[in-house]
Amino acid sequence: MLRSEPISTGFYVPERVIGNEELSQWMDTSDEWIRQRSGIVERRWVDGGVGSSDLAKEAAEQALNRAGLQASDLDCIILATLSPDVYFPGSGVFLQRKLGIKNIPCLDVRNQCSGFIYGLSIADAWIRTGQYKRILLVGTEVQSTGLVLTSDGRDTAVLFGDGAGAMILGPTEDGDRGVLSVNIHADGRHAEKLWMEAPGSRYKPWLVAEQIEKGLTRPYMEGREVFKHAVVKMPSAVKEALEANGLTLEDVDYVIPHQANARITQGVAKSLGLPEEKVISNIHKYGNTTAASIPIALHEAVEDGRIKRGSLVCLTAFGSGFTWGAALIRW
C-alpha cells in the first residue's frame, strides 16, 4: 500500500529574542504572569520587513539539505499560515519564487493553529493517490508585526511568536512506516472566539481607519473558552487516531501538541494519562507560533534523537475556527 512518509524536517526562528521582561516595558504585564499562565519565557520576533515566506524559505532550505534534495526536486508546495506576506496571493507562491523554482503548484492553507495538520492531510492524500511525489509542507508565521504592544493588547501580545517549520514528504511502500492517518475537524459555531475581524470582504471598503481604531485588526481571543475546548479536543483527536489504527496510548512514543500554552499541554498529558515527558513542549522558547509550532517541535525532537526510526508520533492541534485534528506517524 502506498503511504506518505516524512523524508526530512527543518526549522527557522528569527534571531531577535524577546524575553518577558522586555514586554513589560511596553505593557502592564510581568514575567511572573506570563510564565504562570502560559509557560512562555521568551519568543522570537522579526525585525520588520520580513514576511512569513522569508521564514518559510529558511526552514524549507534546511529540510531540503537534510534530505539531500534540491528545490527543483519538489513537485508541490503546501504552506500553512495565518500571517501571509500580503492579503493575496498566498505566501506559497512567494516561497516558490524565493526557492528559485517555478511551475509546481502552491497551496496556502488557512487553518491557523491546525494549519500544519490540515496541510499534512492534503499532502498525505496527494501522495497516496500518486498525484505528487515530493511535497514541501511548511507552517510559518510572522505574528509579531500584527500584535498590539500596549496594555490594551497584552492578553494576546505576550503569547505569540514568529517562526517556521518544514517537512518534506514522499511516497513509501514500506508497510511499517509513514503517515498512518490524519483526522481533521471543525466547528464554525465558535469562529468568533478566536479571530481577527478585519480587514474582510464583508466590509466596504475592506479596510478603513475605523476598524483599526476599534481594534478589529488585532487578534481577539476568549482565552478561557479556547483553553476549555483545547484540552478536550486534542486528547479526543489523539484517541480517534489511535483507534483508527488499532493502536493504544501505550504504543505512542511522543505526542506533539500544538504549542499554545504549557498549561494546555499539561492538560492534554493529564487527560491522556501520559507522563509529561512523552508530551513534547518547547513553548518556553518560542511562545505560540501557530501553524509553525508543531513542525518546529517535531524538528527539535528529531534532531536531538528523541524521535528516531520506528518511533510512533502523534501530532495534534487545536485552534481558531474552532479547528482541530491529529496525525499518527510511524517515523
Q: Which residue has the cell 464583508?
A: 202
Q: Name the 3-class secondary structure at 94.
A: helix
CB proximity list for 248: less than 8 A, separation 6 or greater: 242
With CB under 6 A, what is the number of residues at the site for ligand COA? 18
Q: Does 33 bind ligand COA (CB under 6 A)?
A: yes
Among 75, 155, 240, 253, binds ligand COA (CB under 6 A): 155
| Region of 4-12, 32-40, 132-140, 210-218 interacting with ligand COA (CB under 6 A) | 32-40
3-state secondary structure of 49: coil
Q: Which stretch binds ligand COA (CB under 6 A): 14-22, 240-248, 257-265, 272-280?
A: 257-265
Find the DSSP H helices in 47-149: 52-67, 91-98, 115-128
Cell of 108: 496556502
Angle between helices 91-98 and 52-67 (to 10 degrees): 50
- Half-sphere CA count of 16, side-chain side, radius 13 A: 11
Residue 261 as a binder of ligand COA (CB under 6 A): the answer is yes
As separate numbers, helices (DSSP H) first and strands (DSSP E) second, the chain gives 11, 13
Least separation in angstroms between CB 314 and ligand COA: 18
Beta carbons of 322 and 186 less than 8 angstroms apart: yes
Is residue 37 at the binding interface for ligand COA, with CB under 6 A as the rule?
yes
- Please tell me whether residue 22 adopts helix, strand or coil conformation: helix
Which residue spans within the chain are E strands per DSSP? Answer: 3-12, 17-19, 42-44, 76-80, 106-109, 135-141, 163-172, 178-186, 194-195, 220-221, 254-257, 312-319, 323-330
One residue of 149, 190, 223, 232 binding ligand COA per CB under 6 A: 223
299 near 138, Cβ under 8 Å?
no
Q: Which of 102, 204, 224, 309 binds ligand COA (CB under 6 A)?
A: 224
Print the binding letters for residues 269-308 with ligand COA: x by CB under 6 A, - otherwise: -------------------x--------------------
Nearer to ligand COA by C-beta: 105 or 153?
153
Contact stretch for ligand COA (CB under 6 A) within 9-17, 50-58, 224-232, 245-253: 224-232
Provide the residue type at 144 as one letter.
Answer: S
Distance of closest approach, residue 79 Cβ to ligand COA, in angstroms: 19
- For ligand COA, the binding residue among 80, 104, 184, 226 (CB under 6 A) is 226
Query: Length of the chain in residues, anyone?
Result: 331
288 is catalytic: yes
Catalytic residue among 20, 111, 183, 258: 258
Query: 299 catalytic, yes or no?
Result: no
Site for ligand COA contains 203 (CB under 6 A): no
Q: Would you call the peptide bond into 84 cis, given omega within 30 degrees of 0 as the criterion?
A: no
Write down the least CB distance from residue 119 to ligand COA, Å: 16
| 161 touching ligand COA, by CB under 6 A | no
Footprint of ligand COA (CB under 6 A) = 29, 33, 37-38, 113, 154-155, 158, 221, 223-224, 226-227, 260-261, 264, 288, 319
Q: Which residues are catalytic?
A: 113, 258, 288
